[in-house]
Amino acid sequence: MLKKTLLAAILSSLIFSPLASASHHFESAQAIKIPTLNQLDNFVFPATTKGYTAIVMTINHTPKAGAGGIFNPDALYNIHIAESADYKQGKTFSFKFDPQGNVTVYQEATADSTVGVTGESLGSGKANSTTTLSNGIKLWTGSAQDPFVGNSPGLHRFRTQLAEGKYDPAVWTSSKGKNIFAARNCGAIVLEVPNSLLAKNISVYMTTDFQSNDAWKQVQYSANPLFSHALLFENAALKREHDASRPQNGDDIKPIVSARVTRASAVAHSQKDPVAYGDKVANMLVPDVLTYQVGEKAIYTAEKRNGRSLDDDAMSAMLSLLIGQPTDQALANPKRYSQSFPYVVPVTLQ
């Protein structure tokens, strides 16, 4: 949790400061050093199987063949599904992998699970294969094509412009954009959950716990795409605080998000009242969760967010919210996903 003195110091130093550059979704210093801990993207959408909801968590920007090359055996990967306003009621699915990539799945009867603690075992699955767990959930884990789409040259020029206190919307179409994820792979955890196990309205977020020196620590937290990357000033201290937090700590980070959006929309001259707009966006995106009305179409845009499908242009949505005007990153979607389970496109690593 951010202490008030730290919050005040960060706000005063960042609101009018230039923006630093950073890599895509490498939000945690530890995740950069240990790629198997690096959370990438999260998706929640209606499954092809009627009466089910699909949840996808992607991990590891450089998966490798061999023992421990995709998932970390010393980690717990967690999918939290909250069903109450305090983010406590609900469930947490935790995934523990062995060095060969085989997984055991656990469930705790709360969305606010204790770091490093697993609940009831629901069953086990083998790498790159489909398993049906004891409660009817279908599971797939393994290596897949990274479905994210990101205009790297455009983003670099955009950051440079904002650091100089200016913004030209043509930066996206004139940058000869390239999707830097077009040939990348990732690790993926995919669930098909019966809607009968879910409340009508859920809030989903993901965390990763890591065991070191016989102690467990939460090393990453994510929900909205590019939240840390786009909204926390590329500040390492802020990212560490966010990665160690939960939705209940959202009030601590909300002023930072508001300040970030205020500055960006002011530079873009997109809003008559940038401060009011910054507060509006902060209230929309904090706490950092993916809200989803179960059974409804998933969509993630600047105007509407209900889960997130594999087809949504999440980067354009976040840029639009940050800048305060409709923004298109000007990239064609290569559609590196499937319409059927496991929805990601499996790959065999060499």
In the chain, where are the structural domains located? Answer: 4-323
Give tens-digit pLDDT for 111-164: 999 999 999 999 999 999 999 999 999 999 999 999 998 887 888 888 788 888
In this prediction, residue 308 carries a pLDDT of 98
**Cα distances (Å, whole numbers) of residue 63 to 25, 28, 41, 79, 112:** 15, 17, 15, 20, 29
Query: Which tokens in the block code for residue 50?
Result: 């009627």
The average pLDDT across 214-238 equals: 87
Over the chain, what is the mean pLDDT? 88
Res 279 pLDDT > 60: yes
Res 63 pLDDT > 90: yes
Look at 42-46, 225-229, 339-343 and tell me which has the smallest mean pLDDT: 225-229
Sorting pLDDT into bands at 50, 70 and 90, what band is 28? low
Look at 33-37, 260-264, 272-276 and tell me which has the smallest mean pLDDT: 33-37
Res 61 pLDDT > 70: yes
To 5 degrees, how large is the angle CA 72–CA 74–CA 80? 80
Of 231 and 84, more confident: 84
In this prediction, residue 178 carries a pLDDT of 73
SS in 3 state form for 55-85? Answer: EEEEECCCCCCCCCCCCCCCEEEEEEEECCC
Contact status, residue 343 vs residue 311, Cβ threshold 8 Å = no
Q: What is the pTM of this model?
A: 0.91
What is d(CA 99, CA 202) in angstroms, rounded to the nearest whole number?
33
Res 22 pLDDT > 50: no
The average pLDDT across 248-276 equals: 94
Sorting pLDDT into bands at 50, 70 and 90, what band is 9? very low
Of 26 and 21, more confident: 26
In this prediction, residue 175 carries a pLDDT of 58
The alpha-helical segments, DSSP class H, found in 120-163 are: 152-163
Contact status, residue 115 vs residue 305, Cβ threshold 8 Å = no
SS3 11: helix
